[in-house]
């Protein structure tokens, strides 16, 4: 228990330092734009590929599990939409990004630590935690909801392709299903959730990278710890968010 509390305290102190007033806003603005490109736009390809197959598989799986003649086939479209918006796009995408972006962040900051680049920043009087971590967190929190929106459209589009090219469900029934009982609150809930997850999959690997020590092996271990812990935290937080805001 003591090591957990030690790391938790250290994490919050680092976040406190990271969110302190920047030395020069112009430098941070430039860093923020760079991070938005590197964390957001560079993830667009993988998000789209995963989402299209995710939507297609949800559609097929739902159809395969509906045996009763009393359940209308438009339920397939409805289920695909609900699963995508409520869970798959925000949560699965967060887990994918935790792997892709999280390992990148932990290894980048970790390498800067072991090659004394962070010390160089500190000696120049730069708040290294704010300079390195804050733009990454802000960029991910801002860009993540947009990635999730794209994922939602592409995933539902994946299901639409199944409706078009197979006999599992008719296009008309699928279209009816994805429009049935639509609630905007669910989208807002999903986007808010994605912003929280973005904070987790950037801040946790940042913590592990920032306090890495030694050489390449330790940086690799820090990167793994960052990804594993942020993934677990995302799943635990997802449970609580779902329990609080959806039930």
- CB of residue 30 vs other proteins: minimum separation in angstroms? 9
Of 50 and 105, which CB lies nearer to other proteins in the complex structure?
A: 105
Can you tell me the distance from the alpha carbon of 206 to that of 12, in angstroms, rounded to the nearest whole number?
12
Residues at the contact surface with other proteins, assessed by CB under 8 A = 23-24, 26-27, 111-112, 115-117, 119-120, 122-126
Nearest residue (CB) to other proteins, 162 versus 219: 219
Given the complex with other proteins, which of 26 and 68 has the nearer CB atom?
A: 26
H, E, C per residue of the chain: CHHHHHHHHHHHHHHHHHCCCCCCHHHHHHHHHHHHHHHHHHHHHHHHHHHHHHHHHHHHHHHHHCCCCCCCCHHHHHHHHHHHHHHHHHHHHHHHHHHHHHHHHHHHHHHHHHCCHHHHHHHCCCCHHHHHHHHHHHHHHHHHHHHHHHHHHHHHHHHHHHHHHCCCCCHHHHHHHHHCCCCHHHHHHHHHHHHHHHHHHHHHHHHHHHCCCCCHHHHHHHHHHHHHHHHHHHHHHHHHHHHHHHC
In this structure, what token pair is assigned to residue 6?
């030690």
Are the CB atoms for 186 and 219 separated by under 8 Å? no
Q: Are 74 and 180 in contact (CB under 8 A)?
A: yes
Using the minimum distance from each CB to other proteins, give the nearer residue, 64 or 124. 124
Token pair of 61 as six digits: 């799986």
Q: 56 or 109: whose CB is closer to other proteins? A: 109
Rounded Cα–Cα distance for residues 168 and 162 (Å): 7
Measured from the CB atom, is 17 or 186 closer to other proteins? 17
Q: Which lies closer to other proteins via its Cβ, residue 42 or residue 116?
A: 116
């Amino acid at each position: 228990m003591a090591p957990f509390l030690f790391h938790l305290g250290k994490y919050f102190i680092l976040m406190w330092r990271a969110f302190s007033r920047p030395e020069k806003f112009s430098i941070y603005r430039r860093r923020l734009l760079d991070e938005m490109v590197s964390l957001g736009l560079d993830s667009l390809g993988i998000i789209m590929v995963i989402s299209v197959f995710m939507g297609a598989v949800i559609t097929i799986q739902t159809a395969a599990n509906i045996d009763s003649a009393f359940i209308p086939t438009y339920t397939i479209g409805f289920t695909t939409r609900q699963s995508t918006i409520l869970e798959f796009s925000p949560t699965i995408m967060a887990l994918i990004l935790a792997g892709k972006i999280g390992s990148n962040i932990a290894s980048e900051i970790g390498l800067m630590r072991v090659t004394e680049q962070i010390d160089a920043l500190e000696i120049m009087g730069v708040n290294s935690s704010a300079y390195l971590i804050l733009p990454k967190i802000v960029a991910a929190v801002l860009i993540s909801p947009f990635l999730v929106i794209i994922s939602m459209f592409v995933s539902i589009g994946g299901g639409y392709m199944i409706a078009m090219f197979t006999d599992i469900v008719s296009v008309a029934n699928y279209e009816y299903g994805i429009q049935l009982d639509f609630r905007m609150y669910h989208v807002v809930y999903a986007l808010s959730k994605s912003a929280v997850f973005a904070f987790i999959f950037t801040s946790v690997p940042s913590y592990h990278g920032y306090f890495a020590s030694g050489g390449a092996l330790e940086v690799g271990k820090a990167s793994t710890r960052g990804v594993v812990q942020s993934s677990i935290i995302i799943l635990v937080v997802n449970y609580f968010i779902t329990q609080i805001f959806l039930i």
